[in-house]
Amino acid sequence: MRGDEWVDLLYGPAQQKKRGLRMSTNLEQLLAELPEDRATGRIAEIYEEIRRFSGVPYVSSLQRYVATMPGALEWAWDALRPALVPGVISETGWRLACDVRVSPAQPVSPEALKAWGISAADLAAIRNVAANFVRVSPVNLMTGATLALLLTSTHPSGTRPSGSGFPGVWTPPVMLGPMPGNVDPLTQDADTRAVLMRFVTEVDGKPFVPALYRQLAHWPGALTWLADELAPRFGSPETNAARVAFRAAARAAAPDIVARLPPVAADGMPDAATIQRILATIDRYAETSPDMTMFGQLILDALPERLPA
> Torsions phi, psi of 203, nearest 5?
-135, 125
Residue 154: what pLDDT?
52
Residue 68: what pLDDT?
95
Residue 18: what pLDDT?
44
Q: Are 51 and 134 in contact (CB under 8 A)?
A: no
Q: Are 185 and 30 in contact (CB under 8 A)?
A: yes
19/165 Cα distance (integer angstroms): 41
Q: Which residues contact 254 (CB under 8 A, 6 or more apart)?
A: 142, 145, 146, 148, 149, 159
Q: Which residues pair with 207 in a beta bridge?
A: 202
CA dihedral 127, 215, 61, 205 (to 10 degrees): -130
> Torsions phi, psi of 306, nearest 5?
-155, 165
> Torsions phi, psi of 50, nearest 5?
-60, -45
Considering only CA atoms, which of 249, 203, 262, 223 is closest in space to residue 29?
203
Stated length of the chain: 309
CA dihedral 43, 45, 46, 50 (to 10 degrees): 130
Q: Which residues contact 253 (CB under 8 A, 6 or more apart)?
A: 92, 96, 142, 145
Q: What is the pLDDT along the chain (309 residues), one digit of tens a residue?
A: 333 443 444 444 444 444 444 444 454 455 789 999 999 999 999 999 999 999 999 999 999 999 999 999 999 999 999 999 999 999 999 999 998 989 999 999 999 999 999 999 999 999 999 999 999 999 999 999 999 999 987 544 445 676 777 888 899 999 999 999 999 888 999 999 999 999 988 877 778 899 999 999 999 999 999 999 999 999 999 999 999 999 999 999 999 999 899 888 778 889 999 999 999 999 989 989 999 999 999 999 999 999 997
Report which residue type is found at 152.
T
Residue 3: what pLDDT?
39
Residue 156: what pLDDT?
42
Angle, helices 220-230 vs 190-197, to 10°: value is 30
263/159 Cα distance (integer angstroms): 11
Q: Which residues contact 56 (CB under 8 A, 6 or more apart)?
A: 132, 135, 136, 175, 176
